């Protein structure tokens, strides 16, 4: 098991070109390494667009299947991570447009810049007080992010949650760098108005995607791609 973990770590440190070469040769370890390095990012991007956990998982699976069955089209003009993120984002936006055919990230309805006030949850719990408070805070933050208009929500998730820089975010979302900066500033203002006055400054990770959930999705994609389970 220790050797397997070491091998996996070594693979994750391998460059994009070599990982793609091995994945094209149907090397299961390379395919798994690519997914495990990108699962969380793709899930949170999809979750940020669709605001639904189950649909986000479906989108990530479909994005991987599409990516790995057309991997020869990856030219290395952007990073592998950015290429995968764009596929996942397009898949999620496609679902959103099928649900709401008129959706347009640059077309905001009247009053969309004002996020709704999210009420602090008051449900009872038998868990320890600290654990309950942590879940309540996470719930408030996730809902506050969900309430951001789509154009601002995508910039916030990409820049703040995923930690991409302005240029990477602009490339991924097809925006000008100055637009990314202005939307991020506005998104932060809306979130601060909605969250900070209720629970104070919060430093946490929203939309976790790890452990068994990550492994389950990775294994499901591998099965769909024909690797022995």
Name residues whose C-beta falls within 8 Å of residue 94's C-beta, 6 or more positions apart in sequence.
none
Query: What's residue 24's pLDDT?
Result: 94
Per-residue confidence at 226, pLDDT binned at 50, 70, 90? confident
CATH number of the domain bearing residue 141: 1.10.10.10
Note down the domain range covering 51. 2-102+209-224
Q: Is residue 109 part of a domain?
A: no
Confirm whether 219 is domain-assigned: yes
On the question of pLDDT at 56 being above 80, the answer is yes
User: d(Cα 147, Cα 201) in Å, to the nearest integer?
Assistant: 18
% the chain with pLDDT above 90:
34
* Of residues 189, 169, 187, the one with CA closest to residue 178: 169
DSSP 119-147: PPP----SS-HHHHHHHHHHHHHHHHHHT
For residue 87, CA distances in Å to 59, 82, 141 come to: 10, 9, 26
Do 215 and 167 belong to one domain? no
The domain that contains 48 carries what CATH number? 1.10.1740.10
Domain shared by 59 and 139, yes or no: no
Give the number of domains in the chain.
2
Residue 208 has what pLDDT? Answer: 61
Q: Could you give the CA distance from residue 44 to residue 75 in angstroms, rounded to a whole number?
A: 25
Q: Do both 143 and 215 map to the same domain?
A: no
- 24 lies in the same domain as 80: yes
- Give domain status of residue 69, yes or no: yes
Are residue 216 and residue 185 in the same domain, yes or no? no
Distance, CA of 5 to CA of 148 (rounded, Å): 39
Write down the pLDDT at residue 11: 57
- pTM, rounded to two decimals: 0.64
Residue 194, token pair as written in the block: 């909605």
- Whole-number mean pLDDT of the chain? 77
The pLDDT, as a whole number, for residue 34 is 94
């Amino acid at each position: 098991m220790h050797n397997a973990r070491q091998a996996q770590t070594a693979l994750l440190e391998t460059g994009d070109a070599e990982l793609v070469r091995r994945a094209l040769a149907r090397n299961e370890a390379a395919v798994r390494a690519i997914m495990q390095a990108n699962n969380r990012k793709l899930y949170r991007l999809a979750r940020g667009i669709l605001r639904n956990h189950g649909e986000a998982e479906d989108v990530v699976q479909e994005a991987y299947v599409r990516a790995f069955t057309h991997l020869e089209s990856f030219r290395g003009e952007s990073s592998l991570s950015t290429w995968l993120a764009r596929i996942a984002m397009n898949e999620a936006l496609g679902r959103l447009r099928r649900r709401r055919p008129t959706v347009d990230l640059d077309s905001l309805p009247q009053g969309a810049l004002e996020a709704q006030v999210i009420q602090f949850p008051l449900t009872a719990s038998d868990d320890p007080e600290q654990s309950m408070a942590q879940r309540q805070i996470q719930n408030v933050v996730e809902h506050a992010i969900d309430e951001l208009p789509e154009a601002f929500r995508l910039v916030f998730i990409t820049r703040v949650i995923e930690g991409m820089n302005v240029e990477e975010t602009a490339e991924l979302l097809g925006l000008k760098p100055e637009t990314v900066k202005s939307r991020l500033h506005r998104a932060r203002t809306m979130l601060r108005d909605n969250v900070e006055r209720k629970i104070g400054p919060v430093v946490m990770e929203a939309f976790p995607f790890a452990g068994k959930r990550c492994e389950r999705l990775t294994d499901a994609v591998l099965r769909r791609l024909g690797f022995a389970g």
